[in-house]
Amino acid sequence: MAQITEKELSALSDLLGAEQLMAQKYRAQACCASDTAIKDCYEQMAARHQRHFDELYANLK
């Protein structure tokens, strides 16, 4: 596998942080939502961002 540059590593770090933050925000919103449809939507979005985070992280290994 080719080595990644410092700039690419920095970009991946930024993406990981953004995905983690979005997952946390959607989970927090899901906890506060009283409407079940909205709560489900927030939970789906949180799961999607968590999957993105996991995929990015897996590519670094």
For the stretch 1-53, pLDDT in tens is 578 899 999 999 999 999 999 999 999 999 999 999 999 999 999 999 999 99
Does the reported pTM lie above 0.75? yes
Do residues 46 and 23 lie in contact, with contact meaning Cβ atoms separated by under 8 Å? yes
Token reading at 39: 């709560």
What amino acid is encoded at 14 in this protein? Answer: D
DSSP 5: P
Listed in order, strand segments (DSSP E) in the chain are none
Q: Rounded to whole angstroms, what are the CA distances from 58 to 39, 42, 45?
A: 28, 24, 20
Residue spans per domain, the chain: 17-60
